Amino acid sequence: MKHKNIPLKERIIFALDVDSKEKAEKWVDCLGDHIKFYKVGLQLFLAGWFPAIKMITERGHKVMVDLKFFDVPETVKLAFRQLRHKNITFATVHGNDPILRAAVEERNGIKILAVTVLTSFGEEDMKEMGFAGTIEDLVFIRAKRALELGCNGVVSSGLEASRLRGDLGDNLLIVTPGIRPGKNIEIEEDDQVRIMTAQKAIINGADYVVVGRPISRAKDPVAVVKSMQNEIQKGLTAGN
């Protein structure tokens, strides 16, 4: 497997799951020497809106806007126009072909990541929603279609990354949430189902890993970051 030339400090995308720009700024100040990529999701976006994104990018870091755009295509187009000139690197979209096309048409330099299946979903959840196949099959079908439509990559658990990388090639970006440290850190009310370590995710083909609570709830967040980066480095060199 050919790994992309991504700096180690960008391999972890830290999830800024906080309720204010000020709290986000404290985390960026704390981790900024070690992590250069940050995720802004619904909570922070609604609390801090674009000032939070500006705060991150002005410090020289990258931003993944994880709003999972899902609406009629014209609305998605208009929403993506609001992301222009904000120095955003990734944005997530969750929808059918017309929704993905709308995002691709208006990306203006932003890399589009199609959400496949949330890592909080298990096989039982899929059955309850009426899906007959496996999660892996559904993730693959959605990822293949997203790539054909011009998306740059997908958000997928590490469990499906190996098949995606093997069948869809090296150009596809794979961003993997549901990451847990090699040394277990207990997380209360953990809603993630399809999880694995950063090292295993990278070995399976992930390019980036999204990590939130294992870092934010640790007694020594920087130590956890360094440990996970060590895991990632081992994953990158495995088999070379």
Q: How far apart are CA 120 and CA 191, in angstroms?
A: 6
Q: Which of 9, 23, 68, 234 is labelled catalytic? A: 68
Active site includes 68? yes
Are 182 and 211 contacting, i.e. CB atoms less than 8 angstroms apart?
A: no
**Within 13 A of 158's CA, how many CA atoms are on the CB side?**
24
How far is Cα 238 from Cα 38, in angstroms, rounded to an integer? 26
Q: What is the DSSP string of 131-193?
A: --S-HHHHHHHHHHHHHHTT--EEE--HHHHHHHHHHH-SSSEEEE--B--SS----TT----
The DSSP H or E segment spanning 55 is: helix 42-58
Check: CB of residue 156 under 8 Å from CB of residue 143. yes
Q: How far apart are CA 142 and CA 120, in angstroms?
A: 17
Q: Write out the two tokens for 220.
A: 């020594």
Q: Point out the residues that are catalytic.
A: 68
